[in-house]
């Protein structure tokens, strides 16, 4: 693994103390674990509100727990954010904290506006004062990195080229619009105030610790219990799937050697349809449990009424980050899904804790109750 000298070759920027927002969530907790393993000199202050998708169980067995401090709090809490910046001398922010589920944004957009837009604004204002106005550090020694999504670009047709960093924004859901807005705020603070910022727009993540409202963990856990596997509409929506540990490595490379002011698209180079993803997961479970009463598990697949405004296709062109920073996804779709299934099978205590939450069952019933057989 490339270590800290990789940075010195480029800009001399060396992260020391990071504030990671949303670090108890799916991608954030995986990044905390990854960074502690590859950067022996850093310490992490982890700020998370522990909403439904944030879970302290995601932070057990960290590789270097003495270099990790957890703070329960909201990114919209201006006084808390400002205090943490000064108390811990934060020189790097990696901003994961966000409401992320499109379905939830359709039925309750206000929380997305608050967390994704106001929360990002609160962070930017605080670091502008601390880094730019008060000159707590040289601006060559700090970085604000913002985690965004490919959904800000809208939807692609069957023959359209993948999204690049120059693709115009065209968000189609309240979630995507809130993330597009936060992207624009980050870019504006970089341009107007000279704040050293970077942005990465990633494709659909999957892997360990993902909350089972999302497709892949939902399918794994439902199939194990012999429950129906819900698929929106015809299931032919196409996504670019990215294994979460590959995403973490890409973020680290952007922090280590990315150019301030730049945006980097991060994708997995895989574009199966949703129904294909579900069938692959079912095949893996058939192999793991050949004597299960539910084999073949794909017999559990059902179509449910499609969600409003469902984007048909996403795809990411990651040429820029590959060319400039030498990053490429390590996991194929098959290897990544194998690892994901095996993680859920091996972590039954984590799964049981999540499934005990009555709000998850209520949410699934609300959105996936109207099923009909796929033709």
CA-closest candidate to residue 176, choices 199, 205, 155, 151: 151
Report whether pLDDT(1) > 50: no
pLDDT digits (tens, 9 = 90+) for 261-316: 999 999 999 999 999 999 999 999 999 999 999 999 999 999 988 878 788 999 99
∠ at Cα 269 (338, 296), nearest 5°? 35
CA distance 54 to 72: 10
pLDDT value at position 99?
84
Q: How confident is the model at residue 375 (pLDDT cuts 50, 70, 90)?
A: very low
pLDDT value at position 109?
87
pLDDT value at position 373?
40
Burial of 137 (0-12, 13-18, 19+ CB in 10 A): middle
Q: How confident is the model at residue 73 (pLDDT cuts 50, 70, 90)?
A: very high
Q: Under 8 Å CB-to-CB from 356, ≥6 apart: which residues?
A: none
- Catalytic center residues: 150-151, 175
Name the average pLDDT for the chain: 91
pLDDT value at position 367?
66
pLDDT digits (tens, 9 = 90+) for 176-203: 999 999 999 999 999 999 999 999 999 9
Domain boundaries, the chain: 5-205+242-267+310-331
pLDDT digits (tens, 9 = 90+) for 6-38: 333 344 467 899 999 999 999 999 999 999 999
pLDDT value at position 369?
58
CA-closest candidate to residue 43, choices 78, 84, 1, 97: 84
CA distance 367 to 5: 49
pLDDT digits (tens, 9 = 90+) for 82-103: 999 999 999 999 999 988 777 7
pLDDT digits (tens, 9 = 90+) for 147-183: 999 999 999 999 999 999 999 999 999 999 999 999 9
Tell me the H-state helices in 108-231: 110-112, 119-127, 174-193, 215-224
DSSP 102: H
Residue at token pair 């704040």: 195
Q: Which tokens in the block code for residue 88?
A: 């811990």
CA distance 104 to 173: 10
Tell me the H-state helices in 194-309: 215-224, 244-257, 274-288
Report whether pLDDT(3) > 60: no
pLDDT digits (tens, 9 = 90+) for 199-255: 999 999 999 999 998 899 999 999 999 999 999 999 999 999 999 999 999 999 999
pLDDT digits (tens, 9 = 90+) for 246-267: 999 999 999 999 999 999 999 9
| Whether CATH 3.40.50.720 fits 5-205+242-267+310-331 | yes
């Amino acid at each position: 693994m490339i270590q800290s000298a990789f940075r010195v070759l480029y800009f001399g920027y060396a992260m020391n103390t990071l504030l990671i927002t949303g670090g108890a969530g799916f991608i954030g907790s995986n990044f905390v674990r990854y960074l502690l393993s590859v950067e022996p000199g850093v310490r992490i202050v982890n700020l998370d509100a522990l909403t439904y998708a944030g879970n302290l169980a995601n932070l057990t067995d960290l590789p270097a727990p003495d270099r990790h401090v957890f703070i329960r709090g909201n990114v919209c809490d201006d006084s808390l954010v400002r205090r943490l910046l000064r108390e811990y001398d934060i020189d790097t922010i990696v901003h994961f904290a966000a409401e992320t589920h499109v379905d939830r944004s359709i039925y309750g957009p206000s929380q997305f506006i608050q967390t994704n837009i106001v929360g990002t604004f609160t962070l930017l204002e605080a670091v502008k004062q601390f880094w730019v106005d008060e000159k707590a550090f040289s601006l060559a020694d700090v970085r604000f990195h913002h985690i965004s999504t490919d959904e800000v670009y809208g939807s692609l047709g069957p023959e359209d080229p993948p999204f690049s960093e120059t693709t115009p924004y065209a968000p189609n859901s309240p979630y995507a619009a809130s993330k597009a807005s936060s992207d624009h705020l980050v870019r504006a603070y970089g341009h107007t105030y000279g704040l050293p910022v970077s942005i990465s727009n990633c494709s659909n993540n999957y892997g360990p610790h993902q909350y089972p409202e999302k497709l892949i963990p939902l399918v794994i856990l439902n199939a194990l219990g012999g429950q129906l596997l819900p698929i929106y509409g015809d299931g032919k929506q196409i996504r670019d799937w990215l294994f979460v540990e590959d995403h973490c490595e890409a973020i680290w490379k952007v922090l280590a050697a990315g150019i301030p002011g730049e945006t980097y698209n991060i994708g997995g180079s895989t574009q199966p349809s949703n129904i294909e993803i579900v069938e692959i997961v079912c095949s893996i479970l058939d192999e793991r449990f050949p004597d299960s009463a539910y084999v073949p598990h794909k017999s559990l697949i059902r179509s449910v009424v499609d969600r409003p405004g469902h984007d048909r296709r996403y795809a990411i062109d990651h040429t820029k980050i590959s060319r400039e920073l030498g990053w490429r996804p390590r996991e194929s779709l098959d290897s990544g899904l194998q690892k994901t299934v095996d993680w859920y099978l091996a972590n039954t205590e984590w799964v049981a804790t999540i499934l005990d939450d009555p709000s998850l069952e209520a949410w699934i019933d609300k959105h996936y109750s109207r099923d009909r057989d796929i033709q």
